[in-house]
Amino acid sequence: MKHSLQNSGTRMPLAVYVLALGIFTQGTSEFMLSGLLPGMAEDLGVSIPDAGLLISAFAIGMVVGAPLLAVATLRWPRRTALVGLQAVFIAGHVVGALAPGYAALFVTRVVSALAYAGFWGVAVATAVALVPSAAQSKAVALVAGGLTMATIVGVPAGTVLSQSASWRAAFWAVAIATTVSLLCTAFAIPAGGSEGEAPRSVRAELRGMARPQLWLSYAITAFAFGAVIVTFSYLAPFLTEESGLGEGGVPAVLALFGAGGMIGLIIGGRTAQSHSVRTLAVGLGALAVISAALALTAHTTLVVVIGLTFLLGLAGYVTNPALQSRVFTLAPDAPTLVGATNTAAFNVGNTLAPMLGGLTIGAGYGYTSVAWVGAGLAAVGCVGALWAARLERTAAQIPRPRFEKVFQNS
Protein backbone atom coordinates (compact mmCIF):
# COMPACT_ATOMS: atom_id res chain seq x y z
CA MET A 1 0.00 0.00 0.00
CA LYS A 2 1.55 3.27 -1.10
CA HIS A 3 0.63 6.00 1.28
CA SER A 4 2.83 8.83 2.52
CA LEU A 5 2.94 9.26 6.26
CA GLN A 6 2.99 12.96 5.61
CA ASN A 7 -0.34 12.80 3.83
CA SER A 8 -2.13 16.08 4.29
CA GLY A 9 -5.51 17.44 3.39
CA THR A 10 -8.67 18.76 4.89
CA ARG A 11 -9.75 15.33 6.14
CA MET A 12 -8.08 13.14 8.70
CA PRO A 13 -6.67 9.96 7.16
CA LEU A 14 -8.72 6.82 7.73
CA ALA A 15 -5.72 5.38 9.58
CA VAL A 16 -6.14 7.90 12.41
CA TYR A 17 -9.70 6.71 12.99
CA VAL A 18 -8.47 3.11 12.95
CA LEU A 19 -5.90 3.96 15.62
CA ALA A 20 -8.68 5.51 17.72
CA LEU A 21 -10.63 2.25 17.31
CA GLY A 22 -7.65 0.33 18.67
CA ILE A 23 -7.48 2.59 21.71
CA PHE A 24 -11.24 2.19 22.19
CA THR A 25 -11.22 -1.61 22.21
CA GLN A 26 -8.17 -1.92 24.44
CA GLY A 27 -9.07 1.05 26.61
CA THR A 28 -12.38 -0.61 27.46
CA SER A 29 -10.38 -3.36 29.17
CA GLU A 30 -8.29 -0.79 31.04
CA PHE A 31 -11.27 0.62 32.93
CA MET A 32 -14.02 -2.01 32.79
CA LEU A 33 -12.79 -3.99 35.79
CA SER A 34 -14.28 -1.39 38.12
CA GLY A 35 -17.71 -2.75 37.15
CA LEU A 36 -16.65 -6.41 37.13
CA LEU A 37 -14.98 -6.72 40.53
CA PRO A 38 -17.85 -8.24 42.57
CA GLY A 39 -18.45 -11.02 40.05
CA MET A 40 -14.75 -11.65 39.55
CA ALA A 41 -14.08 -11.83 43.27
CA GLU A 42 -16.88 -14.34 43.81
CA ASP A 43 -15.90 -16.50 40.83
CA LEU A 44 -12.18 -16.52 41.69
CA GLY A 45 -12.70 -16.97 45.43
CA VAL A 46 -10.87 -13.81 46.50
CA SER A 47 -11.84 -10.61 48.28
CA ILE A 48 -12.89 -7.53 46.36
CA PRO A 49 -9.72 -5.65 47.45
CA ASP A 50 -7.63 -8.54 46.09
CA ALA A 51 -9.61 -8.46 42.86
CA GLY A 52 -8.98 -4.71 42.78
CA LEU A 53 -5.24 -5.43 42.58
CA LEU A 54 -5.90 -6.58 39.02
CA ILE A 55 -6.55 -2.91 38.19
CA SER A 56 -3.24 -1.92 39.78
CA ALA A 57 -1.48 -4.71 37.89
CA PHE A 58 -2.74 -3.29 34.60
CA ALA A 59 -1.71 0.27 35.50
CA ILE A 60 1.78 -0.84 36.56
CA GLY A 61 2.11 -2.81 33.33
CA MET A 62 1.26 0.37 31.43
CA VAL A 63 3.93 2.38 33.25
CA VAL A 64 6.63 -0.20 32.58
CA GLY A 65 5.44 -1.28 29.17
CA ALA A 66 5.18 2.06 27.39
CA PRO A 67 8.90 2.94 27.20
CA LEU A 68 10.01 -0.72 27.20
CA LEU A 69 7.88 -1.70 24.22
CA ALA A 70 8.70 1.55 22.43
CA VAL A 71 12.40 0.66 22.55
CA ALA A 72 11.79 -2.98 21.64
CA THR A 73 9.74 -2.09 18.54
CA LEU A 74 11.60 1.05 17.53
CA ARG A 75 13.11 -0.42 14.36
CA TRP A 76 9.95 -2.28 13.38
CA PRO A 77 7.64 -0.88 10.69
CA ARG A 78 4.86 0.84 12.60
CA ARG A 79 2.12 -1.31 11.08
CA THR A 80 3.98 -4.46 12.12
CA ALA A 81 4.38 -3.13 15.66
CA LEU A 82 0.71 -2.12 15.95
CA VAL A 83 -0.58 -5.44 14.64
CA GLY A 84 1.85 -7.48 16.74
CA LEU A 85 1.01 -5.64 19.95
CA GLN A 86 -2.71 -6.05 19.38
CA ALA A 87 -2.18 -9.77 18.76
CA VAL A 88 -0.46 -10.11 22.14
CA PHE A 89 -3.28 -8.13 23.78
CA ILE A 90 -5.90 -10.42 22.23
CA ALA A 91 -4.02 -13.52 23.36
CA GLY A 92 -3.85 -12.11 26.88
CA HIS A 93 -7.62 -11.68 26.99
CA VAL A 94 -8.35 -15.11 25.55
CA VAL A 95 -6.13 -16.69 28.19
CA GLY A 96 -7.67 -14.39 30.81
CA ALA A 97 -11.20 -15.44 29.86
CA LEU A 98 -10.13 -19.06 30.29
CA ALA A 99 -8.02 -18.46 33.41
CA PRO A 100 -8.65 -21.13 36.06
CA GLY A 101 -7.62 -18.91 38.95
CA TYR A 102 -6.52 -15.52 40.25
CA ALA A 103 -2.76 -15.93 39.67
CA ALA A 104 -3.13 -16.76 35.98
CA LEU A 105 -5.52 -13.85 35.47
CA PHE A 106 -3.11 -11.50 37.24
CA VAL A 107 -0.34 -12.45 34.81
CA THR A 108 -2.59 -11.91 31.79
CA ARG A 109 -3.47 -8.42 33.04
CA VAL A 110 0.19 -7.45 33.23
CA VAL A 111 0.94 -8.91 29.78
CA SER A 112 -2.11 -7.22 28.24
CA ALA A 113 -1.11 -3.89 29.78
CA LEU A 114 2.42 -4.18 28.39
CA ALA A 115 1.03 -4.70 24.89
CA TYR A 116 -1.56 -1.93 25.23
CA ALA A 117 1.07 0.50 26.50
CA GLY A 118 3.27 -0.26 23.52
CA PHE A 119 0.31 0.21 21.18
CA TRP A 120 -0.45 3.62 22.74
CA GLY A 121 3.09 4.88 22.15
CA VAL A 122 3.30 3.66 18.55
CA ALA A 123 -0.26 4.76 17.77
CA VAL A 124 0.29 8.36 18.87
CA ALA A 125 3.62 8.55 17.01
CA THR A 126 1.94 7.15 13.91
CA ALA A 127 -0.96 9.60 14.10
CA VAL A 128 1.44 12.52 14.41
CA ALA A 129 3.41 11.28 11.39
CA LEU A 130 0.28 10.82 9.29
CA VAL A 131 -0.77 14.48 9.28
CA PRO A 132 0.85 17.89 8.71
CA SER A 133 2.09 19.74 11.77
CA ALA A 134 -0.94 22.04 11.91
CA ALA A 135 -3.25 19.05 12.38
CA GLN A 136 -1.19 17.05 14.86
CA SER A 137 -3.11 18.11 17.97
CA LYS A 138 -6.41 17.23 16.32
CA ALA A 139 -5.04 13.84 15.28
CA VAL A 140 -3.82 13.14 18.82
CA ALA A 141 -7.17 14.28 20.24
CA LEU A 142 -8.97 11.92 17.89
CA VAL A 143 -6.80 8.96 18.87
CA ALA A 144 -7.16 9.79 22.58
CA GLY A 145 -10.90 10.14 22.00
CA GLY A 146 -10.99 6.38 21.62
CA LEU A 147 -10.31 6.08 25.35
CA THR A 148 -13.06 8.55 26.18
CA MET A 149 -15.47 6.57 24.03
CA ALA A 150 -14.39 3.51 25.99
CA THR A 151 -15.58 5.19 29.20
CA ILE A 152 -18.87 6.28 27.57
CA VAL A 153 -19.72 3.08 25.67
CA GLY A 154 -17.25 0.27 26.35
CA VAL A 155 -17.14 0.29 30.15
CA PRO A 156 -20.95 0.43 30.67
CA ALA A 157 -21.40 -2.27 28.00
CA GLY A 158 -18.84 -4.48 29.72
CA THR A 159 -20.61 -4.01 33.04
CA VAL A 160 -23.99 -4.95 31.55
CA LEU A 161 -22.48 -7.99 29.82
CA SER A 162 -20.85 -9.09 33.06
CA GLN A 163 -24.11 -8.75 34.97
CA SER A 164 -26.13 -10.63 32.35
CA ALA A 165 -23.57 -13.34 31.56
CA SER A 166 -20.22 -13.25 33.41
CA TRP A 167 -17.02 -11.28 33.66
CA ARG A 168 -15.46 -13.82 31.30
CA ALA A 169 -17.96 -12.83 28.62
CA ALA A 170 -16.72 -9.24 28.91
CA PHE A 171 -13.16 -10.47 28.34
CA TRP A 172 -14.26 -12.42 25.25
CA ALA A 173 -16.04 -9.32 23.92
CA VAL A 174 -12.89 -7.23 24.28
CA ALA A 175 -10.83 -9.92 22.51
CA ILE A 176 -13.30 -10.06 19.60
CA ALA A 177 -13.52 -6.27 19.28
CA THR A 178 -9.73 -5.97 19.31
CA THR A 179 -9.49 -8.63 16.60
CA VAL A 180 -11.71 -6.44 14.40
CA SER A 181 -9.42 -3.49 15.21
CA LEU A 182 -6.34 -5.57 14.31
CA LEU A 183 -7.78 -6.39 10.88
CA CYS A 184 -8.60 -2.73 10.27
CA THR A 185 -5.05 -1.78 11.32
CA ALA A 186 -3.52 -4.27 8.89
CA PHE A 187 -5.60 -2.76 6.08
CA ALA A 188 -5.46 0.97 6.85
CA ILE A 189 -2.03 1.72 8.31
CA PRO A 190 0.69 2.44 5.71
CA ALA A 191 3.31 -0.29 5.48
CA GLY A 192 6.34 2.01 5.33
CA GLY A 193 7.52 5.18 7.02
CA SER A 194 7.50 8.78 5.94
CA GLU A 195 9.17 9.73 2.72
CA GLY A 196 12.70 10.74 3.64
CA GLU A 197 12.23 9.64 7.24
CA ALA A 198 15.58 8.77 8.79
CA PRO A 199 15.95 5.32 10.36
CA ARG A 200 14.97 5.47 14.02
CA SER A 201 17.45 4.45 16.71
CA VAL A 202 17.35 4.28 20.50
CA ARG A 203 20.47 6.43 20.85
CA ALA A 204 19.08 9.20 18.64
CA GLU A 205 15.74 9.21 20.46
CA LEU A 206 17.41 9.29 23.86
CA ARG A 207 19.46 12.30 22.75
CA GLY A 208 16.24 13.97 21.63
CA MET A 209 14.72 13.50 25.08
CA ALA A 210 17.49 15.30 26.95
CA ARG A 211 15.47 18.50 27.41
CA PRO A 212 14.30 19.81 30.80
CA GLN A 213 11.07 21.23 29.36
CA LEU A 214 10.12 17.75 28.20
CA TRP A 215 10.43 16.26 31.67
CA LEU A 216 8.48 19.15 33.16
CA SER A 217 5.78 18.28 30.64
CA TYR A 218 5.79 14.67 31.84
CA ALA A 219 5.34 15.86 35.43
CA ILE A 220 2.40 18.04 34.37
CA THR A 221 0.90 15.03 32.59
CA ALA A 222 1.06 12.89 35.74
CA PHE A 223 -0.52 15.59 37.91
CA ALA A 224 -3.17 16.50 35.33
CA PHE A 225 -4.40 12.96 34.73
CA GLY A 226 -4.08 12.03 38.39
CA ALA A 227 -6.24 15.03 39.28
CA VAL A 228 -9.20 13.79 37.26
CA ILE A 229 -8.76 10.03 37.69
CA VAL A 230 -8.63 10.19 41.49
CA THR A 231 -12.19 11.55 41.57
CA PHE A 232 -13.40 9.37 38.70
CA SER A 233 -12.10 6.21 40.40
CA TYR A 234 -14.38 6.78 43.39
CA LEU A 235 -17.17 8.62 41.59
CA ALA A 236 -19.72 5.80 41.96
CA PRO A 237 -19.49 5.57 45.78
CA PHE A 238 -19.16 9.37 45.92
CA LEU A 239 -22.52 9.66 44.14
CA THR A 240 -24.29 7.00 46.19
CA GLU A 241 -22.77 7.66 49.62
CA GLU A 242 -22.36 11.46 49.57
CA SER A 243 -24.81 12.79 46.96
CA GLY A 244 -27.67 10.39 47.67
CA LEU A 245 -27.98 9.08 44.11
CA GLY A 246 -29.47 5.63 43.65
CA GLU A 247 -27.25 2.92 42.19
CA GLY A 248 -29.41 2.74 39.07
CA GLY A 249 -28.51 6.30 38.18
CA VAL A 250 -24.75 5.82 38.38
CA PRO A 251 -24.19 4.54 34.80
CA ALA A 252 -26.01 7.56 33.36
CA VAL A 253 -23.90 9.97 35.41
CA LEU A 254 -20.71 8.18 34.38
CA ALA A 255 -21.81 8.55 30.77
CA LEU A 256 -22.40 12.27 31.43
CA PHE A 257 -18.84 12.52 32.71
CA GLY A 258 -17.66 10.80 29.52
CA ALA A 259 -19.69 13.16 27.35
CA GLY A 260 -18.02 16.11 29.07
CA GLY A 261 -14.67 14.45 28.44
CA MET A 262 -15.42 14.08 24.74
CA ILE A 263 -16.37 17.75 24.42
CA GLY A 264 -13.21 18.65 26.33
CA LEU A 265 -11.13 16.66 23.84
CA ILE A 266 -12.76 18.46 20.92
CA ILE A 267 -12.09 21.88 22.45
CA GLY A 268 -8.56 20.93 23.50
CA GLY A 269 -7.81 19.55 20.05
CA ARG A 270 -8.64 22.95 18.56
CA THR A 271 -6.62 25.03 21.03
CA ALA A 272 -3.61 22.83 21.80
CA GLN A 273 -1.65 23.40 18.60
CA SER A 274 -1.44 27.18 18.87
CA HIS A 275 -1.94 27.68 22.63
CA SER A 276 -0.73 24.47 24.27
CA VAL A 277 0.62 25.88 27.55
CA ARG A 278 -2.31 28.27 27.94
CA THR A 279 -4.70 25.34 27.41
CA LEU A 280 -2.90 23.44 30.15
CA ALA A 281 -2.93 26.33 32.61
CA VAL A 282 -6.59 27.25 32.06
CA GLY A 283 -7.75 23.63 31.98
CA LEU A 284 -5.90 22.66 35.16
CA GLY A 285 -7.03 25.82 36.95
CA ALA A 286 -10.63 25.03 36.01
CA LEU A 287 -10.19 21.42 37.12
CA ALA A 288 -8.94 22.55 40.53
CA VAL A 289 -11.95 24.86 41.00
CA ILE A 290 -14.49 22.26 39.80
CA SER A 291 -13.00 19.54 42.01
CA ALA A 292 -13.17 21.83 45.04
CA ALA A 293 -16.75 22.77 44.17
CA LEU A 294 -17.59 19.07 43.89
CA ALA A 295 -16.32 18.51 47.43
CA LEU A 296 -18.17 21.54 48.82
CA THR A 297 -21.51 20.68 47.17
CA ALA A 298 -21.27 16.88 47.50
CA HIS A 299 -24.62 16.63 49.31
CA THR A 300 -26.51 18.71 46.74
CA THR A 301 -27.51 15.98 44.32
CA LEU A 302 -28.76 18.09 41.40
CA VAL A 303 -25.69 20.33 41.38
CA VAL A 304 -23.33 17.36 41.42
CA VAL A 305 -25.20 15.24 38.89
CA ILE A 306 -26.40 17.81 36.39
CA GLY A 307 -23.53 20.29 36.43
CA LEU A 308 -20.30 19.41 38.14
CA THR A 309 -19.87 15.81 36.93
CA PHE A 310 -20.14 16.96 33.32
CA LEU A 311 -17.76 19.88 33.95
CA LEU A 312 -15.31 17.56 35.70
CA GLY A 313 -15.08 15.45 32.55
CA LEU A 314 -14.75 18.51 30.34
CA ALA A 315 -11.99 20.15 32.39
CA GLY A 316 -10.30 16.82 33.00
CA TYR A 317 -9.91 16.02 29.32
CA VAL A 318 -9.54 19.44 27.67
CA THR A 319 -5.83 19.32 28.52
CA ASN A 320 -5.34 15.86 27.01
CA PRO A 321 -4.50 16.91 23.41
CA ALA A 322 -1.98 19.48 24.66
CA LEU A 323 -0.40 16.94 27.02
CA GLN A 324 -0.18 14.39 24.20
CA SER A 325 0.99 16.61 21.34
CA ARG A 326 3.27 19.05 23.18
CA VAL A 327 5.93 16.41 23.83
CA PHE A 328 6.34 15.91 20.08
CA THR A 329 6.94 19.65 19.68
CA LEU A 330 9.50 19.64 22.48
CA ALA A 331 11.35 16.60 21.09
CA PRO A 332 10.49 16.19 17.40
CA ASP A 333 13.51 13.95 16.82
CA ALA A 334 12.31 11.30 19.29
CA PRO A 335 8.72 10.66 18.15
CA THR A 336 8.32 7.10 19.43
CA LEU A 337 10.04 7.24 22.81
CA VAL A 338 8.63 10.61 23.90
CA GLY A 339 5.09 9.47 23.20
CA ALA A 340 5.62 6.19 25.01
CA THR A 341 7.13 7.93 28.03
CA ASN A 342 4.19 10.31 28.06
CA THR A 343 1.88 7.29 28.16
CA ALA A 344 3.86 6.07 31.18
CA ALA A 345 3.43 9.51 32.79
CA PHE A 346 -0.34 9.29 32.34
CA ASN A 347 -0.31 5.94 34.10
CA VAL A 348 1.88 7.18 36.94
CA GLY A 349 -0.99 9.54 37.68
CA ASN A 350 -3.49 6.74 37.05
CA THR A 351 -1.69 4.51 39.58
CA LEU A 352 -0.63 6.86 42.37
CA ALA A 353 -3.56 9.30 42.53
CA PRO A 354 -6.26 6.66 43.28
CA MET A 355 -3.92 5.17 45.90
CA LEU A 356 -3.66 8.60 47.51
CA GLY A 357 -7.43 8.93 47.39
CA GLY A 358 -7.78 5.52 49.01
CA LEU A 359 -5.49 6.63 51.84
CA THR A 360 -7.65 9.68 52.60
CA ILE A 361 -10.79 7.53 52.56
CA GLY A 362 -9.12 4.97 54.82
CA ALA A 363 -8.11 7.76 57.20
CA GLY A 364 -11.79 8.52 57.74
CA TYR A 365 -12.17 11.67 55.64
CA GLY A 366 -14.92 10.18 53.45
CA TYR A 367 -15.41 10.15 49.72
CA THR A 368 -15.45 13.94 49.46
CA SER A 369 -11.76 13.84 50.31
CA VAL A 370 -10.90 12.43 46.87
CA ALA A 371 -12.27 15.58 45.24
CA TRP A 372 -10.00 17.65 47.49
CA VAL A 373 -7.08 15.45 46.47
CA GLY A 374 -8.00 16.08 42.84
CA ALA A 375 -8.16 19.83 43.45
CA GLY A 376 -4.70 19.78 45.03
CA LEU A 377 -3.14 17.75 42.23
CA ALA A 378 -4.71 20.01 39.61
CA ALA A 379 -3.38 23.08 41.39
CA VAL A 380 0.15 21.65 41.40
CA GLY A 381 -0.20 20.82 37.70
CA CYS A 382 -1.39 24.37 37.01
CA VAL A 383 1.72 25.75 38.73
CA GLY A 384 3.80 23.46 36.52
CA ALA A 385 2.05 24.81 33.41
CA LEU A 386 2.69 28.40 34.49
CA TRP A 387 6.34 27.50 35.06
CA ALA A 388 6.50 25.99 31.57
CA ALA A 389 5.06 29.19 30.15
CA ARG A 390 7.71 31.25 31.92
CA LEU A 391 10.48 28.98 30.60
CA GLU A 392 9.12 29.36 27.06
CA ARG A 393 9.06 33.15 27.35
CA THR A 394 12.61 33.18 28.73
CA ALA A 395 13.87 30.92 25.95
CA ALA A 396 12.23 33.12 23.32
CA GLN A 397 14.05 36.20 24.67
CA ILE A 398 17.52 34.61 24.56
CA PRO A 399 19.09 34.51 21.08
CA ARG A 400 20.76 31.21 20.25
CA PRO A 401 22.05 31.56 16.68
CA ARG A 402 24.47 28.62 16.96
CA PHE A 403 21.67 26.28 17.94
CA GLU A 404 18.95 27.72 15.73
CA LYS A 405 18.51 24.53 13.76
CA VAL A 406 18.21 22.42 16.87
CA PHE A 407 15.45 24.50 18.43
CA GLN A 408 13.57 25.63 15.37
CA ASN A 409 10.90 22.98 15.96
CA SER A 410 10.81 23.22 19.78
- The full length of the chain comes to 410
Q: Alpha-carbon torsion 192, 194, 199, 201, what sign?
A: negative
Question: What would the pLDDT profile of 263-281 be if each residue is shown by its tens digit?
Answer: 998 898 888 878 889 999 9
Question: What would the pLDDT profile of 236-272 be if each residue is shown by its tens digit?
Answer: 788 888 888 877 777 788 778 888 888 998 898 888 8
Residues 68 and 120 sit within 8 Å (Cβ to Cβ): no
Cβ within 8 Å of residue 112, ≥6 positions away: 26, 29, 58, 61, 88, 89, 92, 93, 96
> For position 410, what pLDDT does the model report?
38
Question: What would the pLDDT profile of 13-38 be if each residue is shown by its tens digit?
Answer: 999 999 999 999 999 988 787 667 67
> For position 184, what pLDDT does the model report?
96
Question: What would the pLDDT profile of 334-388 be if each residue is shown by its tens digit?
Answer: 777 787 788 888 888 888 888 888 888 888 898 899 999 999 999 999 999 999 9
- Helices 14-44, 167-188: axis angle to 10 degrees equals 160
- Domains and their CATH numbers in the chain: 10-196 (1.20.1250.20), 201-398+405-410 (1.20.1250.20)
Tell me how crowded residue 262 is: count the other CB atoms within 10 A of its CB.
Answer: 18
With vertex at residue 20, the alpha carbon angle to CA 19 and CA 24, rounded to the nearest 5 degrees, is 120
pLDDT at 288 over 50: yes
- DSSP helix/strand/coil, 327: helix
Using 50, 70 and 90 to split pLDDT, how confident is the model at 6?
Answer: very low
Q: What percent of the chain has pLDDT over 70?
A: 90
Nearest to 330 by CA among 128, 76, 119: 128
Residues 191 and 298 sit within 8 Å (Cβ to Cβ): no
Cβ within 8 Å of residue 386, ≥6 positions away: 281
Average model confidence (pLDDT) for the chain?
83
Tell me how crowded residue 406 is: count the other CB atoms within 10 A of its CB.
Answer: 11
- DSSP helix/strand/coil, 100: coil
Lowest mean pLDDT among 62-66, 232-236, 400-404: 400-404
Q: Alpha-carbon torsion 85, 14, 144, 33, what sign?
A: negative
